[in-house]
Amino acid sequence: MHRLRTTVAILWPITVNQRAQGQSQARRFAAGGPLSTSEPMRNYTASLSAEPFLNGTSCNYVEEMYNAWLENPRSVHKSWDIFFRNANFGAPPGAAYQSPPPLVAPAPGFVDDQLMGGAQPNLEKLVEDHLAVQSLIRAYQVRGHHVAKLDPLGIKAGIDPGPPPSDIITTNDKLAFYGLDESDLGKVFRLPTTTFIGGSESALSLHQIIHRLEMAYCQSIGVEFMFINDLEQCQWIRQKFESPGVMQFTFEEKRTLLARMVRSTRFEEFLQRKWSSEKRFGLEGCESLIPALKTIIDKSSMNGVDSIIMGMPHRGRLNVLANVIRKELDQIFCQFDSKLEAADEGSGDVKYHLGMWHRRINRVTDRNITLSLMANPSHLEAVDPVVQGKTKAEQFYCGDTEGKRVMSILLHGDAAFAGQGVVYETFHLSNLPSYTTHGTIHVVVNNQIGFTTDPRMARSSSYPTDVAKVVNAPIFHVNADDPEAVMYVCNVAAEWRATFHKDVVVDLVCYRRNGHNEMDEPMFTQPLMYKQIKQQKGVLQKYADRLIEEGVVSRQEYEEDIANYDKICEEAHARSKDEKILHIKHWLDSPWPGFFNLDGQPKTMSSPSTGLPEEELRHIGNIASSVPLEDFTIHGGLSRILKGRAAMVDQRVCDWALGEYMAFGSLLKEGTHIRLSGQDVERGTFSHRHHVLHDQNVDKRTCIPMNHIAPNQAPYTVCNSSLSEYGVLGFELGFAMASPNALVLWEAQFGDFHNTAQCIIDQFISPGQTKWVRQNGIVLLLPHGMEGMGPEHSSARPERFLQMCNDDPDTFPIFSAEEFAVRQLYDCNWIIVSCSTPANYFHVLRRQILQPFRKPLIVLTPKSLLRHPEAKSSYDDMLPGTHFQRVIPDSGPVSEKPEEVKRIVFCTGKVYYELTRERRNRGMDYTVAITRIEQLSPFPFDQVKVETDRYPNADLVWCQEEHKNQGFYDYVKPRLRTTVNSTRPVWYAGRGPAAAPATGNKAAHLVELKRFLDTALNLDAFTGPS
Ligand SMILES: Cc1ncc(C[n+]2csc(CCOP(=O)(O)OP(=O)(O)O)c2C)c(N)n1
Ligand SMILES: [Mg+2]
């Protein structure tokens, strides 16, 4: 109704000024300017009933007509011309309309006023027809992809198998859907501003309109974009695909494309000839992937990108390494030789998982470009967030705040892209301020099969790419057997990314010539598809024939090209036979220049003290308890918290949050970037941290005091994440990979939530170094502790982390006393700590950066201890010369007469405070020593031995609050035994075995606690073999 009134208003006499405005609106987009959806010409006084054809559905169209008429009165139908003239001359409503001459079909593409004289027209039919044409154009834009010729096999196994939509004119009878018929094909219609099919023409015959829409939307490219909310973006895409003649390439471009197809195809053929029985997950059936990626890289390089980080699965990976990243061929070929000896530490990985980093000149742009392909595990799509994190880090370190220099490309298989939830989690990071990489180009190798499973059994969506719609990413489906169409969409995708800095998807619809791998028989499960595939001519051959026919290359040139590349492969193969040693380090995807010495070893094997001078502690404490911005009002409750912190500074003590502040603040001051990410980390799940202050009077005004520590400090990033663990932990792992000089921490809301990120932990964090010789210093903060909160929220499942530690339970390491700690750390796959004091937490965070190598650190963090009056540390424990304490010995009365001590209770974490309280209550301070093992892994054999030696007459008890089959017991027990050489039994005090981590009943929780404390401190509790 509103639009109708507007239109009628427009039809009233207008000023010259208004006329200019109307014209400029219509043409603004073409000039590249921003679009405005509303125009200021408004007059609500007109009578609507006076012009009956101005009904609610037609006013859109009338506006179009009017704007066109303003520009060129001859471009609209005579009847409209008369109508607008009359309206302009001030004809009152109802009088502007005059019956026009009858409509006789003019020649296609040609408006002939002369032919319009004579009989009475049916204006309503005219408006309806024009509206119908508008809907028809829109139908192609929305659903044209359904009839595009996307499937090289023509069997549509993997793409929307339904019948063509009824509003797409696949046969002339479908015109009836719009109230049109064949006789209308010659009529000329004014084109709306929402299409570019006219090129420089503003009106076309229906016949031409349909033809051009078919060319734009129903050939080898299917564009899905009409779900995008942004009009400017939709217009941009329409212009790219609808403008006549956009898909034309020069001979040179075609020859380059052919050369790339030759490399891609002959590489696989070479591998097949040489190693016919080796798994390589070849690219056959999707050879255009290589020119696709190269086109994206060329175009992005042209647009200023100088670093591209890629993640991809198994399919075609070797080909990408060889022909996109340009890894030396002999280095790839020698991977097929199993007799090679590994030169580096670690157990390595299969060849189609390894990563790679390479800087070279891009031949097309003559600019330097760095390409890295991230190593990845078998777990499909797991690498996606890791790539994004690494990309974000590289952007961050080079000040690329808009993603103009560094970008990521993610490759996917069709089945995995649709099936794996982490894809969705990764998409949801794409627009978040602290996680965006400013647009990723996704390329799907859509071979219409996943191992042996058909798409109809593997997903519920029409396309494997539907997940991308959640972020309004355009999706370009393309028949991979049409290399020029592939090249075109890849160019558009790269331009899209450079223009809008948003994600985009290229769906290469292809097939898989062989089975899942080269050994696999696909006819068992897809007999008809594979009968078709066997008949399918290879894409290289098809394209070469086409170019030869077009006269772009001669057959001889083409054959020479093939012979040349084959020769390159043969020569590299000959060279590869000279390789005796396999250097896994040559496959490093993230080098850390300057961090190690030249042979890749740490520059030193000593760890400096992690303590700080008192003034520094005081200074950071003051920042932590203040608001560094003027006129900034914080919440009253927070004022009280900050006052409490100030009081601690006066008393020279820290609680947990202040200890963390001291560690972060000092590292920032020393130039180490810190990034803390996770759900609600800014305030802290337990409302203890408050790293971001919020002005109570100004919406979204915030202050991060940690960024006010010192003038030249490193930046501090603290960011609440999306509600994802898999995606976000993967992202932070990737961020930590980019540089050793940053402390990157991911905090779980509660420790147990890490299990939804298990794949990142199992596949990357625990074994990353041994598989890919790549260190990583990521820190996981996992709130852990049995507080009677029920089965969830209680356990960070330390048993799982401990089970994956690589230290030997049965061997006491032989290291010198001075180097014991650091050597153990160097050898381990990760470090697991459960700190009981803020000072120790402070030290372990600082050690993470000050030690000369990087290892993942898992910290079981407390909940009730955050506010426990005894869980405070004095500055004295944080001063220069102090260190992280792997073991905290009992410093109470037991040390006075150690030989009289009857029992050592070893424990870790918050149960220490429960044990000491119970010991005090029982008056056993002289008979029972309570020793805290703060670093569980690598196990501090040396320091534990000091304790067991100190109390020669004591029995040994491991006490934990967790259930017996969980927690630390299984890990600690054999190591305690090894420490005492099995001369003393190791007893257990804790909860019994259970399926759940904790009871849901608070009373039961307390009974259990009482029971196991009783066992731990009852000197008669244990007899017989342990
Ligand atoms: C998370 C995960 N689940 C299962 C597998 C086993 N697997 C390996 S390849 C594959 C099929 C993948 O199909 P698709 O994504 O279409 O890639 P294609 O092999 O067809 O290129 C499966 C199920 C895996 N590697 N990762
Ligand atoms: Mg597949």
Calculate the average pLDDT of the chain. Answer: 89
Atom 12 of ligand 1: nearest residue by CA position: 450
Q: In the predicted model, is pLDDT for residue 169 greater than 50?
A: yes
Q: In the predicted model, is pLDDT for residue 113 greater than 50?
A: no
In order of 44, 98, 427, 726, the CA distances from 423 in angstroms are 50, 60, 6, 10
pLDDT at 9: 43
In order of 259, 573, 948, the CA distances from 563 in angstroms are 12, 15, 73
- Taking the CA of residue 384 as centre, how many other CA atoms within 13 Å lie in the half-sphere pointing to its CB? 29
User: Torsions phi, psi of 222, nearest 5?
Assistant: -120, 120
Tell me if 447 CB under 6 Å of ligand 1: yes
d(CA 224, CA 217): 10
Q: Cβ atoms within 10 A of the Cβ of 868, count? A: 15
Q: In the predicted model, is pLDDT for residue 24 greater than 70?
A: no
Which ligand 1 atom minimizes the distance to the CA of 382?
1
- Which residue shows structure tokens 């759940």? 996
Q: In the predicted model, is pLDDT for residue 124 greater than 90?
A: no
Residues 6+ apart with CB under 8 A from 305: 369, 404, 405, 406, 407, 498
Question: Closest by alpha carbon to 431, among 399, 405, 392?
Answer: 392
d(CA 210, CA 818): 82
d(CA 223, CA 671): 48
User: Measured between alpha carbons, how far apart are the two ends of the chain, in Å?
Assistant: 85
Q: Are 496 and 465 in contact (CB under 8 A)?
A: no
Which ligand 1 atom minimizes the distance to the CA of 450?
13
pLDDT at 91: 57
Measured in Å, residue 412 CA sits from the centre of ligand 2 at 9
Tell me if 418 CB under 6 Å of ligand 1: no
Question: Closest by alpha carbon to 71, among 15, 126, 24?
Answer: 24
What percentage of residues in the chain have a pLDDT greater than 70? 88
- Confidence label for 589 from pLDDT (cuts 50, 70 and 90): confident
Mutate to test the pocket of ligand 1, among 287, 289, 380, 726 (most ligand atoms within 8 A of CB): 380
d(CA 497, CA 326): 24
Virtual CA dihedral for 478, 484, 487, 491, nearest 10 degrees?
A: -100
- For the ranges 320-334, 738-752, 830-844, which has the lowest average pLDDT? 320-334
Which ligand 1 atom minimizes the distance to the CA of 759?
1
d(CA 259, CA 265): 10
**What is the pTM (predicted TM-score) of this model?**
0.89
Tell me if 279 CB under 6 Å of ligand 1: no
Measured in Å, residue 446 CA sits from the centre of ligand 2 at 5
Residues 6+ apart with CB under 8 A from 269: none
Residue spans of alpha helices (H) in 804-922: 820-827, 838-850, 911-922
Atom 15 of ligand 1: nearest residue by CA position: 413
What percentage of residues in the chain have a pLDDT greater than 90? 78
Mean of pLDDT values over 340-344: 61
Q: Cβ atoms within 10 A of the Cβ of 580, count? A: 11
Tell me if 378 CB under 6 Å of ligand 1: yes
- Confidence label for 161 from pLDDT (cuts 50, 70 and 90): low
Element (H, E) at 717: strand 716-720
pLDDT at 164: 86
Question: Closest by alpha carbon to 506, among 516, 515, 496, 498?
Answer: 496
Mean of pLDDT values over 497-523: 95
Could you tell me the maximum CA-CA distance found in the chain, to the nearest angstrom? Answer: 123
- For the ranges 36-40, 486-490, 592-596, 901-905, which has the lowest average pLDDT? 36-40
And the tokens for 551? 């006269």
Which ligand 1 atom minimizes the distance to the CA of 379?
26
Mean of pLDDT values over 277-294: 94
